């Protein structure tokens, strides 16, 4: 097992070396081998944390492999292509705020309250905080439950400038520009924060920075160290800066303890309960033409395990079907969406949150949560 892991790590180092040296065909071959070994490791390992790490590595190497296969020429200068399977993530570094407010985030009232206390009040009346305020906030919880959405909404509510760093993309940008880009983001953010207006630097999918050492290779360590030292500058203790560092992860157990402790606030974004699921359904379905037979309570019950993002996708699917029907059958407008339509859409979208994963989040929250 350890043997296999060491082999995977050394093969990975070799693949990256070949990649850096521009030996495309050999690098492709080497990446394939590494992926094969990692797949075996996933099968053999009985630690969920390690399995998660291997999967991450597989995803990263597969992405790189695809890039190499897709184009040869402009590789070195090219930007990382959009990560397609993560359609709900924000771009790698983004300076403008998506136009969402707290009302667009259904439920999570206590989280909003906590963010109001940490960011909005201090930036309005810093004079009332002689002891300072928290500047590092970590949001964690299962995928699709509103972490990224919440940060965008907070930035708008606080009228804060938002810089988004997608850690997954930064780490998979492979070499070179990543450190400089990071440095640039933080130095811009620092000078902006001097003006007295809040600035939020948001590191999405922050677990990518602290992935398991043994299978970590190449230029990633440099990028990570750069980021950690930038973070250290912000997250020392309660201070009086208008520069806030927010981070989000759906795999908090991959973070190491010194890293975790740097965030003064560690807030759990839980999956929605029955009432929240009903409200999320209402939030999205109220924009569509729906039939009178629609029983949201009933649907919310049937949607146990569905994340808000799953629920949104079901509603979206129902909408697409209705419009398709309109065009295909030459109707004047899309037909009303019925219970049967929603259930059909549910059949195509399985719930993404398991009880077992919720238990893992709750345990982590009990140990490290600091709302």
Ligand X SMILES: Nc1ncnc2c1ncn2[C@@H]1O[C@H](COP(=O)(O)OP(=O)(O)OP(=O)(O)O)[C@@H](O)[C@H]1O
> Which residues contact ligand X (rule: CB under 6 A)?
88-89, 105-108, 143-149, 248, 250, 280, 283, 308-309, 312
CB of 281 to ligand X, least distance (A): 10
CB of 135 to ligand X, least distance (A): 21
Helix (H, G, I), strand (E, B) or coil at 22: coil
Q: Tokens 């033409």 map to which residue?
A: 289
Q: Which residues contact 89 (CB under 8 A, 6 or more apart)?
A: 83, 148, 166, 168, 204, 205
Are 318 and 341 spatial neighbours (Cβ–Cβ below 8 Å)?
yes
State the helix-helix crossing angle for 177-194 and 220-234, rounded to 10 degrees: 10
CB of 327 to ligand X, least distance (A): 25
Measured CA distances, 264 to 82, 108, 135, 139 (Å): 32, 19, 7, 11
Choose among 220, 219, 217, 215: nearest CA to 42: 215
Among Mg ion, ligand X, none, the one that 342 touches (CB under a kind-dependent 5 to 8 A) is none
177: which 2 tokens? 């520009």
> Residue 103: in which H helix or E strand, if any?
none
Among ligand X, Mg ion, none, the one that 309 touches (CB under a kind-dependent 5 to 8 A) is ligand X
The neighbour count for residue 217, using CB atoms within 10 Å, is 20
Residue closest to ligand X (Cβ)? 146
Q: Which residues contact 123 (CB under 8 A, 6 or more apart)?
A: 158, 160, 197, 198, 242
CB of 104 to ligand X, least distance (A): 6
CB of 145 to Mg ion, least distance (A): 9
Pick the closer one to ligand X by CB: 100 or 215: 100
Pick the closer one to ligand X by CB: 247 or 322: 247
176: which 2 tokens? 């070179």
Among ligand X, Mg ion, none, the one that 145 touches (CB under a kind-dependent 5 to 8 A) is ligand X
Q: Which residues pair with 239 in a beta bridge?
A: 133
Pick the closer one to Mg ion by CB: 147 or 278: 147
87: which 2 tokens? 């359609």
Pick the closer one to ligand X by CB: 11 or 309: 309
Among Mg ion, ligand X, none, the one that 241 touches (CB under a kind-dependent 5 to 8 A) is none
Among ligand X, Mg ion, none, the one that 37 touches (CB under a kind-dependent 5 to 8 A) is none
Among Mg ion, ligand X, none, the one that 149 touches (CB under a kind-dependent 5 to 8 A) is ligand X
Pick the closer one to Mg ion by CB: 147 or 161: 147
CB of 307 to Mg ion, least distance (A): 11
CB of 105 to ligand X, least distance (A): 5
Are 223 and 18 spatial neighbours (Cβ–Cβ below 8 Å)?
no
Among Mg ion, ligand X, none, the one that 11 touches (CB under a kind-dependent 5 to 8 A) is none
Pick the closer one to Mg ion by CB: 152 or 294: 152
Pick the closer one to Mg ion by CB: 147 or 262: 147
CB of 127 to ligand X, least distance (A): 34
Among ligand X, Mg ion, none, the one that 175 touches (CB under a kind-dependent 5 to 8 A) is none
CB of 318 to Mg ion, least distance (A): 24
Are 112 and 103 spatial neighbours (Cβ–Cβ below 8 Å)?
no
Pick the closer one to ligand X by CB: 80 or 310: 310
75: which 2 tokens? 């590789």
User: Across the beta sheet with 93-94, what order do the strands follow?
Assistant: 93-94, 161-166, 199-204, 243-249, 136-140, 265-268
> Residue 243: in which H helix or E strand, if any?
strand 243-249
Among Mg ion, ligand X, none, the one that 176 touches (CB under a kind-dependent 5 to 8 A) is none
Strand 93-94 relative to strand 161-166, pairing: antiparallel
Pick the closer one to Mg ion by CB: 147 or 283: 147
């Amino acid at each position: 097992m350890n043997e296999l892991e060491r082999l995977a790590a050394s093969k990975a180092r070799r693949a990256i070396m070949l990649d850096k040296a521009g030996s495309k065909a050999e690098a492709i071959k080497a990446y394939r081998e590494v992926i094969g070994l990692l797949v075996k490791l996933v099968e053999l390992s009985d630690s969920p944390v390690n399995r998660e790490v291997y999967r991450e590595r597989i995803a990263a190497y597969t992405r790189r492999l695809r890039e190499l296969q897709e184009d040869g020429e402009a590789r070195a200068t090219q930007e990382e292509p959009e990560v397609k399977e993560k359609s709900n993530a924000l771009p790698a570094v983004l300076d403008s705020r998506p136009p969402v407010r707290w009302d667009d985030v259904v439920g999570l009232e206590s989280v909003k309250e906590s963010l109001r206390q940490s960011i909005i009040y201090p930036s309005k009346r810093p004079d009332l905080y002689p002891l300072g305020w928290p500047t590092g906030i970590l949001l964690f919880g299962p995928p699709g439950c509103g972490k990224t959405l919440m940060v965008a909404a907070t930035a708008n509510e606080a009228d804060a400038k938002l810089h988004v760093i997608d850690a997954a993309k930064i780490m998979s940008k492979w070499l070179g520009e990543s450190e400089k880009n990071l440095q640039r983001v933080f130095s811009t953010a620092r000078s902006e924060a001097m003006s007295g207006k809040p600035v939020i630097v948001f590191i999405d999918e922050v677990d990518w920075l602290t992935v398991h050492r043994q299978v970590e290779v190449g230029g990633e360590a440099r990028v990570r160290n750069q980021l950690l030292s930038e973070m250290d500058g912000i997250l020392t203790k309660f201070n009086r800066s208008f520069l806030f560092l927010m981070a989000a992860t759906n795999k908090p157990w991959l973070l190491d303890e010194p890293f975790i402790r740097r965030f003064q606030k560690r807030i759990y974004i839980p999956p929605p309960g029955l009432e929240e699921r009903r409200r999320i359904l209402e939030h999205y379905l109220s924009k569509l033409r729906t039939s009178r037979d629609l029983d949201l309570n009933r649907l919310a019950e049937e949607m146990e395990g569905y994340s808000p993002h799953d629920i949104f996708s079901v509603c979206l699917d129902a909408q697409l079907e209705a419009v398709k029907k309109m065009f295909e059958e030459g109707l004047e407008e899309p037909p009303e969406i019925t219970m049967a339509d929603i259930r059909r859409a549910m059949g195509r979208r399985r719930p993404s949150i398991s009880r077992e994963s919720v238990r893992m989040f709750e345990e982590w929250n009990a140990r490290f949560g600091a709302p």
